Amino acid sequence: MTIAVSPQALPALVLNADYRPLSYYPLSLWSWQDAIKAVFLDRVNIIAEYEHSVSSPSFSMRLPSVVCLKTYVQPSRNPAFTRFNVFLRDRFECQYCGAHDDLTFDHVIPRAHGGETTWENVVAACSPCNLRKGSKLPKQAGMFPSQKPYQPTVQDLHNNGRLFPPNYLHDSWLDYLYWDTELQP
């Protein structure tokens, strides 16, 4: 699963005041128009620029490629329980067979057996596995998820999001996207 980013659109990577991206998946990007507006409203600092510029009759400015918020935005401690976040937690992979296509979600303990729609009971599953399991308990179906479902932290989702980078990453963004990875000697 890849997010499409058009290099011709000249988006700006948005960093929090601590120089970390607001989000890894989807990557926190603003259009060049929104980035310039934020600069003029004095909400961001420009960290890096593209070679391209925009001009008015009395002003010229290079387009920002990386901006940093002046005010720290506290990240949510608990990510929203959404279908997308379940898929991201499970790395866009069926928890029964490993398939990446035709994903839906499955209640490990089916609702017919009292299972709830919670982080701890829902996993990503491909449609064929979901249909095969139906409303059976894992033991009855002989189908067990590859990992026990859990409520992820925002950090868990960010870490998984790094596994699915956009199709395009500008060189000026790289120092801010994977800054906590091991350096090569």
Let me know the angle formed at the C-alpha of 55 by 52 and 58, rounded to the nearest 5 degrees. 150
pLDDT at position 184, please? 54
The C-alpha atoms of residue 97 and residue 110 are separated, in whole angstroms, by 18
pTM score, whole prediction: 0.73
106 vs 181, higher pLDDT: 106
Residues of the chain above pLDDT 70, percent:
92
User: The domain at 81-150 falls in which architecture?
Assistant: Orthogonal Bundle (1.10)
**For the chain, what is the mean pLDDT?**
90
Give, in order, the Cα–Cα distances in Å from 20 to each of 70, 148, 179.
13, 30, 9
Per-domain residue ranges of the chain: 10-67, 81-150
pLDDT at position 177, please? 81
- The SS3 call for residue 169 is coil
Question: How do residues 72-87 score in pLDDT, each as one tens digit?
Answer: 999 878 889 999 999 9
